A and B are shown apart, each in its own frame.
Chain A
Amino acid sequence: MKIDQPKYKASDAVDFVIVGSGAAGGILAKELSTNGFSVVVLEQGPYLHEKDFSHDEIKVLQEDQLTNHPKLQPNTFRKTPQDKAKPQRALVYGRAVGGTSNHFTANFWRFHEIDFKERSKIGAVDGSTLTDWPISYADLEPYYTKVEWEVGVSGLAGASPFDPPRSKPYPMPPLPVKANGIIFERAARKLGWNPFPAPMAILSQPRAGRSACINCGFCLGFGCEVGAKSSSLASMIPLAERSGKCEIRPNSYVHKIEVDERGRATGAVYFDEKKNVHLQKAKAVILSANGAETPRLLLLSASNRFPNGLANSSGYVGKNLMFNTGAVSVGVFEEQTNDYKGYAVSRILHDFYELDAQKVGFYGGGGLDARFDLTPIGFSIGGLPPGTPRWGKDFKAALAHNWTRTFEIFGHGTSLPVEDNSFSLDPDVKDAWGLPALRLTYKDHPDDLKLAHWLAHRSIELLDAANAKQKWTFPIDEQQFGVHLLGTCRMGDDPKTSVINSDHQTHDVKNLFLCDGSSLVTSGRGQPTMTIMALAFRACDRIMALAKRGELA
């Protein structure tokens, strides 16, 4: 069905301009527009639809159909602020209407209570700016539930003894189990651990005019051609458009937030597809451009009044970046598992969510999942055991044997916030629009690396208990590349050590709001999108309350 969106003039101030249409931007657009506010969403990428999604690994993974493009948008990387950054791809994020939610794996773990108050519980950690959130799990719980019901999450309430309290069960049962989930479950129970059905933002039943998952097997990295994956594109954007109050404007690359002489945001300046520049005026501005582009946009918006970047009186814009720790172990099994069919993850466990630093010797915690998230070409390049011939008949035989018998145990864990870990503007490298490129500075906190090794040991124990015929762990190196982009405009009560308050309002500019991965104070245990979406629902309530009180004018 073709939906007629309103077309707002750039010169007419709408109630809200939202930069970014991903996990957070999609929800903000839907909530604000269906509550009667006029909204323009500026998305730098194209507007792709289900019919545009395919299983062409070249187009999607190599040509970056859905993601930021390294040729147009180069990055640089350095380990420490003392180093000179070198050109290197440093991050992947969704660059299309729907953002990263188009291609995510769809693991939808809620954060637990501990994630919000860990600093109080364990004290300071050397080399980290670890701090508590200004809100608690209880504050966010109703919004987690809202995500599950409105965006669409499949799962089984009460299945994990470690789950935080919830006010409602999941709206749909778990997706059909996969062989890797069964093997994982049996092995974990042998070890005395507590595996349970993975909560996934993929529909196990038709819902709200969307199809249930058809188990095509091209999930991580790909857009869902039946709308079963609960992206913003499938779930929220259509509702925003149907409100008659929201215009989604794709191919609109925002590079500056305009501020008036009173220090109020007046709109967003962007390039259209032909690189013509426009100013979309708005009464309030919300940045949901992700944990890299939101801080970049604030830094690009520096002015005489805000010399260090907009909303950056704390100096924290772009800093305290967290990628999440990860370790991937792989097993090859005797029996065929055929895990190439279906979505990626059907069983997880949270027994190690809170490790005792006194016992293990480092801070952190995490979870394990069983998954097969590789597609045929990617598997053939990176999924065979170390030492396998790289060509010839033995290579081919290994492919033919292993494709249906391989899966991974993925350990996901905490990243500690470190002030130097950051996104900033590269002084030399420019993007295709002549703007400073994103520069990544990152060096894992030593505890994060210790945690990754610890999780890998558990994964190998599990693969042993599962009688894997072959098993190995991918090397655990210091990260130089991220997809979870967290903490770079953190939330807090103190304007000296945070960028936004608990209403997502910047401390420095009263009608400028930030809501995306950059808002997170801690990294959780590796699955941030659920929390980003819950924050977005909560932010809407807060922002609408401020608007009603006339505090945005």
Chain B
Amino acid sequence: MITELDRRRFLSHGIAALGATWTAAHWPAVVAAAQHAHHIALFPEDQKWEFFTPAEAKEVEALASCIIPSDGTPGAREAGVVYFIDRALVTFAVDDQKTYRKGLPEIQKRVRELFPEASLFSAATPEQQEAVLASLDEAGAKNAPRRPRGNFRPNATAQPLFEVLRMHTIAGFLIDPEADRKGNRGGVGWAVIGREPGHSFQPPFSAIDKGYPGWQPAASVTASKQAGTRDSDQK
């Protein structure tokens, strides 16, 4: 049971201020607190958006929340991903403004095509929302694995909004919370994937290296005669 004091501490300092173990043990309560905070504190009438209209922000938040849902642990909503994207579109992702402005109405069109009774993505049921995203995810899980090579921006050519939004949602969920980008609020994204907060660690890092006796030469070090290696050249 989360206490009022805990809730306030959470709201003011975020989860990064709490120990990881505490956090893990209290996830459901933390999520409840965060969702409560969301309802009472997010999107106040006078929220100043840097790029989005209030209506767009509501739709983007619903979309992001479908990409990384709040399903027992915090998701895109609790991490403040919509604020991250709003800031992104006037900073590092300024080139993607058009993609959002043009793509959001197209997504709403898709909603109405699939579910004539739903007027907006944010008003659709969770099942309907998933069906809409599935219809947008053309690349799908069939995508061949691709190793991120430093720069992970979808390439400079035009990308559908779904791809850009997926990338931005992930970035807004997992960006270093100390970066001045409004994402990963309270470090909830890192907590979800099991990355401890902080930027300095001491070994042992896991149970595996905890029991390691230290490096020893192999019992019988022989220059291994692997199939394929040059016998005569090994020292």
Contacts and interface: CB of A to CB of B under 8 A. Distances in A.
Contact of A382 (B139, B152, B176, B200): B152
B221 A396 contact: no
Contact of A64 (B133, B151, B205): B151
Contacts, number: 228
Interface stretch (A53-61, A239-247, A484-492): A53-61
A360 to B, nearest CB: 5
B200 A214 contact: yes
Most A-side CB within 10 Å, residue of B146, B166, B171: B171
Interface string B190-203: 10111110011111
Nearest to A477: B144
B92 A475 contact: no
A473 to B, nearest CB: 9
Interface string A335-364: 111111110000000011111100110000
Contact of A162 (B167, B170, B199, B223): B223
A380 B174 contact: yes
B120 interface: no
Interface in A379-395: 379-383, 385-393, 395
A390 B171 contact: no
A379 to B, nearest CB: 8
A339 B205 contact: yes
Given A335-B208, A338-B206, A400-B192, A58 B145 contact: no
B201 A341 contact: yes
Majority SS at the chain B contact face: loop
Contacts of A214: 199-201
B48 interface: no
A204 B58 CA distance: 49
Interface string B161-179: 0000011011101111011
A376 B144 CA distance: 20
Contacts of A179: 205-206, 208-209
Contacts of B170: 377, 380-381
A389 B134 CA distance: 10
A162 B142 CA distance: 42
B133 A61 contact: no
Interface string A6-18: 0000000000000
A475 B145 contact: yes
B137 interface: yes
Nearest to B71: A393
Interface in B191-235: 192-196, 199-203, 205-209, 212, 215, 217-218, 221-224, 226-231, 233-235
Contacts of B223: 161-162, 194
A354 B151 CA distance: 33
A391 B92 CA distance: 23
A433 interface: no
Nearest to B176: A55
Contacts of B206: 179, 335-338
A481 B149 CA distance: 10
B153 A62 contact: yes
Given A56-B175, A194-B218, A391 B66 contact: yes
B44 interface: no
Interface residues of B, number: 75
Contact of B150 (A67, A159, A353): A67
Contact of A359 (B68, B176, B227): B227
A271 interface: no
Contacts of A61: 150-152
B179 A56 contact: yes
B209 A178 contact: yes
Nearest to A71: B156
Contacts of B148: 374, 378-379, 381-383
B147 interface: yes
Interface centre among B88, B180, B208 (most CB of A within 10 A): B208
B145 A376 contact: no
A176 B209 contact: yes
Nearest to B217: A159
Given A216-B200, A378-B148, A391-B66, A400 B209 contact: no
A514 B139 CA distance: 46
Given A176-B203, A377-B171, A391-B166, A161 B235 contact: yes
A62 B151 contact: yes
A355 B230 contact: yes
A55 B143 contact: no
Given A355-B229, A376-B174, A396-B75, A337 B208 contact: yes
A123 to B, nearest CB: 14
Given A54-B176, A214-B201, A388 B141 contact: yes
B194 A58 contact: no
A360 B227 CA distance: 8
Nearest to A326: B147
A403 B209 contact: no
A475 B166 CA distance: 23
A290 B178 CA distance: 33
Contact of A352 (B68, B153, B209, B228): B228
Interface string A44-76: 000000000011111101111001001000000
Nearest to B212: A182
Interface string A467-488: 0000010110000010000000
A51 to B, nearest CB: 14
Nearest to A340: B195
A178 B202 CA distance: 11
A156 interface: yes
A189 B218 contact: yes
A391 B67 CA distance: 5
Contacts of B151: 61-62, 64, 70, 89, 92
Interface in A292-344: 328, 335-342
A336 B193 CA distance: 12
B141 A177 contact: no
A221 interface: yes
A336 B207 contact: yes
B205 A215 contact: yes
Interface of B: 66-69, 71, 73, 75, 88, 92, 130, 133, 137, 139-153, 156, 166-167, 169-171, 173-176, 178-181, 189-190, 192-196, 199-203, 205-209, 212, 215, 217-218, 221-224, 226-231, 233-235
Given A380-B173, A399-B193, 18 more contacts: A56-B176, A61-B151, A161-B235, A162-B223, A174-B215, A182-B212, A193-B224, A216-B201, A341-B196, A352-B226, A382-B146, A391-B67, A391-B166, A392-B66, A400-B194, A403-B195, A404-B193, A454-B228
Across chains A and B, which 4 residue pairs bring their CB atoms closest together, nearest first?
A56-B179, A382-B148, A179-B208, A376-B174
17 contacts: A58-B181, A89-B151, A185-B215, A192-B226, A351-B229, A352-B229, A356-B228, A377-B174, A378-B148, A379-B148, A386-B144, A386-B145, A388-B141, A390-B166, A396-B71, A403-B195, A475-B145
